[in-house]
Amino acid sequence: MKYLLSLFAAVFLLVSCSTATQVSDKAEVSVKEMVKDPETTLVDVRVPEQFADKTANGAVNIPLATIQDNIDFFRKQKNIVVFCNSGKQAGEAMEILKKNGIQNVYYGKTLKNVQAIQNENLK
């Protein structure tokens, strides 16, 4: 009986880990597809000074502090990718958007990540 429980636990862990990996890979592919899609709105949630200094190609600046004030803008977008410097503010922006019923939003993480995706085809 003890052997059967151990076997069941091992199989469960293997299945759980492989499923989690597949979900993670799929999410990453989706973000890449969204960044490369010309109909996607790239939203830099950093402060205007940082945005003016450097941002991703085609990005608009809607600082985290003003996300709630711009919900109507987000509702009109086909797809949205949010990003910032470290990923923290982008995560917070995603939470606000999801709480307001915006489901077509993707976590681009950082400016460097979004730029790397944009530059993949240029190599």
Catalytic residues: 84
- Distance between CA 80 and CA 94 in Å, rounded? 10
d(CA 43, CA 59): 6
Q: CA dist 93 to 66, 70, 96, Å?
A: 10, 11, 5
